[in-house]
Amino acid sequence: MVARKTGGQAARRIKLSDRRKAKATAKRLPYTGHAAVPAIITMQAIMKEVMHRRQTLYVLTGEETPVSAYIVKAAAKALEDHRILDASLKADRAPEQGGTNVAVAINTPDGLVVPAVSETNRKSVLELSREIQQLTDRAMKGGLTVPDSAGGAFAVMNLGEYDIELFSPAIRPPQRAILGFGRTSDRPVAIRKEVRVAAAATLSLAFDGRVVDVVRAAQFLQRVKDLLEDPSKLE
């Protein structure tokens, strides 16, 4: 902290934390407090190992685990090292430790709902698959509770079932970031300096520019990609 005189009075110059810088920036941006200031980045992830693990898990358990369960898990694990994306300007703080609640976008006859999965990072892919299915069943019947829709500052959205490969997901308050992904399909990819055909998906991260800068968002998305390409790290 540095003091300097201005008009006969001492003015204090304070080094702002990342969060305070975010709030200070927000005050200079339009619609502050009413809408996010979105930015979007994309990245391709090779899903070969995820698809192999899905098949192995099916043989062991007889249960099919959707790709979305792996992406939700990867996002939750990545948030452990990038808490700034699991933040809200209104709360003025991000969780520093403990569980991470990732919200999942679900399309219902009455519209889109985004319930949260509690302590997502502490659950296995199979547990997440079951819980997401339970949330989906309740959402389709209009049975979601208020706690179901609370506590998730980060969301995941899947449009793969509609054959969409790339899209720009919209941030829905109180979420401050959302990870969208399209269908996993065979496509030419570079593996060890060779072009091969492999299962891949495009990840699209939309985030509130008032809370996180693009470099940190890119680092987060790189971490998600790394976890999906080596899903043994998800356990």
Asked if the 38-234 domain carries CATH number 3.20.20.70, the reply is no
- CB distance 138 to 144 below 8 Å: yes
Cα Rg, the chain, nearest whole Å: 20
The pLDDT-based confidence of 87 (bands split at 50, 70, 90) is low
Q: Which helix (H) or strand (E) holds 4?
A: strand 2-6
What's the CA angle centered on 174, arms 211 and 183, to 5 degrees? 90
Q: How many whole angstroms separate alpha carbon 87 and alpha carbon 93? A: 6
- Quick: pLDDT tens for 58-70: 999 999 999 999 9
pTM of the model: 0.80
Q: What are phi and psi of 75, to 5 degrees?
A: -65, -45
Q: Where are the domains of the chain?
A: 38-234
Better-predicted residue by pLDDT, 84 or 173: 84
Nearest by Cα to 117 from 150, 74, 158: 150
Percent of the chain whose predicted confidence (pLDDT) is above 70: 79
Q: What mean pLDDT comes out for the span 90-107?
A: 68
Q: How many whole angstroms separate alpha carbon 107 and alpha carbon 165? A: 18
Identify the pLDDT of residue 151.
67
